[in-house]
Amino acid sequence: MTPHTGTDRPDPAARQVRNWMSPSAVAVTTDTDFGTMIAALTATQRGILPVVQVGGEVVGVVAASDLLRAFSRDEEGRSEDGTITAEELMTEPAVTVRQDQTIDDAAGFLRADGLHHLPVVDATGRLVGLLSLVQLLEALKQDDDALSDAAVRLALAADSGVAPNSLRVRCERGRLTLAGRTATRAQAAGLAARVAELPGLVKLVDRLHWAD
> Got the DSSP string for 50-69?
EEE-TTSBEEEEEEHHHHHH
How high is the pLDDT of residue 6? Answer: 40
**Residues 83, 181: one domain?**
no
Average pLDDT over residues 30-54: 91
Per-residue pLDDT of 105-137, as tens digits, reads 998 988 877 788 999 999 999 999 999 999 988
**Residues 61, 165: one domain?**
no
**Residues 128, 73: one domain?**
yes
Q: Into how many domains does the chain fold?
A: 2
% of the chain surpassing 90 pLDDT: 45
**Which residues, 6 or more positions from 41, have their beta carbon under 8 angstroms from its beta carbon?**
47, 49, 64, 67
How high is the pLDDT of residue 51? Answer: 96
Could you tell me the strand order of the sheet in which 168-172 lies?
A: 168-172, 175-182, 203-210
Q: Give the pLDDT band (50/70/90) at residue 100.
A: very high
Q: For residue 115, what are the domain limits?
A: 12-137
More confident of the two residues 2 and 109: 109
Q: Is 21 part of any domain?
A: yes
Per-residue pLDDT of 44-65, as tens digits, reads 888 899 999 988 899 999 998 8
- Number of Cβ within 10 Å of residue 165's Cβ equals 7
- Number of Cβ within 10 Å of residue 88's Cβ equals 16
Residue 32 has pLDDT above 80, yes or no: yes
Of 137, 169, 200, the position where a domain reaches its end is: 137
Cα–Cα distance, 72 to 14 (Å, whole number):
44
- DSSP one-letter code for 162: B
User: Mean pLDDT across the chain, nearest whole number?
Assistant: 85
Q: Is 20 part of any domain?
A: yes
Tell me the three state secondary structure of residue 17. helix
How high is the pLDDT of residue 159? Answer: 81
- Residues 195 and 164: beta-carbon distance below 8 Å: no
Q: Give the pLDDT band (50/70/90) at residue 11.
A: low
**Residues 71, 176: one domain?**
no
Cα–Cα distance, 92 to 69 (Å, whole number):
17
pTM: 0.68
Range with lowest mean pLDDT among 1-5, 9-13, 85-89: 1-5
List the beta bridge partners of residue 145: none
- Residues 195 and 156: beta-carbon distance below 8 Å: no
Q: How many C-alpha atoms does 153 have within 13 Å on its Cβ side? A: 14
